């Protein structure tokens, strides 16, 4: 009986101790992970995905209908102004140019000299007719010839003068700079221009993106044969959520990474922010100029972009997961004061990928619970367990 009493007493004592320990534990509160508020540099970035694009593109086509004889470039080729992209068959144009040149040569070396000789001959005939008229006039005055012979001489002189004037007009119309030569020169120029159109050239420096013609293809006037990206500044085009518009500014720096080359980041700079919002997607188009342009960049490559929209050398920061109510515009945290959890409303500044600047609400050295969404009662006792900061090495 005595031994049983001792055992019972010990059991009751252990139960009391366990109950007491449980009550003490409950009074002290649960152990929760928490971060210590610190001061450190902070960089605010906007993260987005975009694509490589040229500042402008150009479409090169044929000005005439013809058959492709040669294609001299392919996708990815770099071209300069005047480089030949394609050649069309030009038999008809070459024949027309030869004909126009032959007509001009005939004018200069045959028709014009002949007209000048005809004029000289007409002048000689007219002078002879003048002399004959003078002779017969003198004879008629002496009544040595009939009046009809004088009239015949006058008629011949008149016809010779008209022929001379006609030959003079013809010769003058064929002189250098006159309409006949100008018309022949215009025909040569027109034929040469038509021949030139059979050779399709690049009008500016750039890169061939696509080709739409092969040797033997029949192309129509105005048909696009090549798409080119102008050799100007290369850009990255991104569509950012409109909520980031207030933090964007021209000249902001950015770090870009191509999905195909994840270990070769390159620099860019915000050069354009669209003046309107896409109402369907709720985004704003932003262009970033890339300089210098990496050799591996290609048109329409997928690019991950981090735009630096703000920076503070010394900022009071807390991890983002400790903040609740961001979506509702009422950021709050649980702050542990003298072993009790208190809810505080924050006034925030810059926001980074893992941390946020606090302008008002907490001070360096304060402890905030890691779970900003924790369901606690204000004033509830808690104990903190130091949690490593997410950005700490």
Please provide residue 342's backbone torsions phi and psi, each rounded to the nearest 5 degrees. Answer: -125, 140
Per-residue pLDDT tens over the stretch 54-95 = 767 788 888 889 999 999 998 888 888 889 999 999 888 889
CA distance 365 to 371: 18
CATH topology of domain 58-89+203-230: OB fold (Dihydrolipoamide Acetyltransferase, E2P) (2.40.50)
Torsion (CA) 102, 107, 111, 117 in degrees, nearest 10: -140
SS3 376: coil
CA distance 351 to 347: 12
Give residue 24's pLDDT: 42
According to DSSP, the residues that pair with 201 across neighbouring strands are: 84
Contacts of 215 (CB under 8 A, 6+ apart): 68, 69, 70, 71
Residue 139 corresponds to which tokens in the numbers above? 């004879």
**Mean per-residue pLDDT, 298-322:** 87
Q: In which band, very low, low, confident or very high, does the pLDDT at 243 lie, cut at 50, 70 and 90?
A: confident
Residue with tokens 């941390």: 355
Contact 104, 188 (CB under 8 A): yes
Q: Which CATH architecture has domain 26-43+312-386?
A: Beta Barrel (2.40)
The answer, yes or no, to whether residue 20 has pLDDT greater than 80, is no
SS3 182: helix
The 199-201 sheet, strands edge to edge: 199-201, 84-88, 66-71, 218-219
Give residue 270's pLDDT: 92
Domain borders along the chain are: 26-43+312-386, 46-54+232-311, 58-89+203-230, 92-195
Range scoring the smallest mean pLDDT among 34-43, 64-73, 116-125, 167-176:
167-176
392 vs 281, higher pLDDT: 281
* CATH of the structural domain 46-54+232-311, one choice from 3.30.70.2190, 3.40.50.740, 1.10.10.10, 2.40.30.170: 2.40.30.170
What global pTM score does this model have? 0.52
Give residue 4's pLDDT: 55
Contacts of 168 (CB under 8 A, 6+ apart): 119, 122
């Amino acid at each position: 009986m005595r031994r049983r009493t001792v055992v019972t007493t010990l059991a009751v004592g252990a139960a009391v101790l366990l109950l007491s320990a449980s009550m003490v534990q409950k009074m002290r509160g649960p152990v929760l992970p928490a971060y210590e508020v610190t001061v450190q540099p902070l960089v605010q970035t906007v993260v987005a995905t975009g694509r490589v694009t040229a500042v402008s593109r150009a479409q090169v086509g044929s000005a005439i209908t013809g058959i492709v004889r040669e294609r001299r470039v392919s996708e990815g080729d770099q071209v300069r102004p005047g480089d030949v992209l394609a050649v069309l068959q030009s038999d008809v144009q070459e024949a027309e140019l030869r004909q126009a040149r032959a007509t001009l040569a005939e004018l200069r070396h045959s028709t014009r000299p002949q007209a000048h000789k005809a004029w000289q001959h007409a002048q000689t005939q007219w002078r002879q007719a003048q002399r004959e008229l003078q002779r017969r006039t003198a004879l008629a005055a002496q009544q040595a010839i009939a009046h009809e012979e004088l009239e015949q001489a006058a008629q011949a002189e008149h016809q010779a003068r008209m022929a001379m004037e006609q030959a003079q007009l013809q010769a003058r119309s064929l002189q250098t700079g006159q309409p006949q030569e100008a018309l022949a020169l215009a025909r040569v120029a027109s034929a040469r221009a038509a021949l030139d159109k059979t050779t399709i050239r690049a009008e500016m420096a750039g890169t061939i993106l696509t080709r739409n013609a092969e040797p033997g293809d029949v192309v129509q006037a105005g048909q696009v044969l090549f798409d080119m990206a102008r050799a100007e500044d290369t850009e990255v085009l991104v569509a950012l959520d409109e909520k980031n518009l207030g933090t964007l500014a021209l000249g902001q720096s950015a770090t870009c990474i191509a999905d195909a080359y994840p270990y070769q980041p390159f620099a860019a700079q915000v050069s354009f922010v669209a003046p309107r919002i896409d109402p369907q997607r709720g985004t704003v188009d932003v262009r970033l100029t890339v300089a210098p342009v990496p050799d591996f960049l290609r048109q329409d490559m997928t690019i991950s972009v981090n735009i630096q929209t703000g920076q503070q050398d010394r900022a009071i920061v807390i991890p983002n997961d400790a903040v609740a109510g961001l979506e509702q515009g009422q950021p709050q945290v649980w702050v542990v004061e003298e072993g009790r959890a208190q809810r505080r409303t924050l006034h925030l500044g810059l926001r980074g990928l893992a941390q946020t600047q606090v302008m008002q609400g907490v001070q360096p050295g304060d402890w905030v619970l890691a779970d900003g969404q924790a369901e606690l009662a204000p004033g509830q006792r808690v104990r903190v367990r130091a949690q490593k900061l997410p950005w700490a090495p």
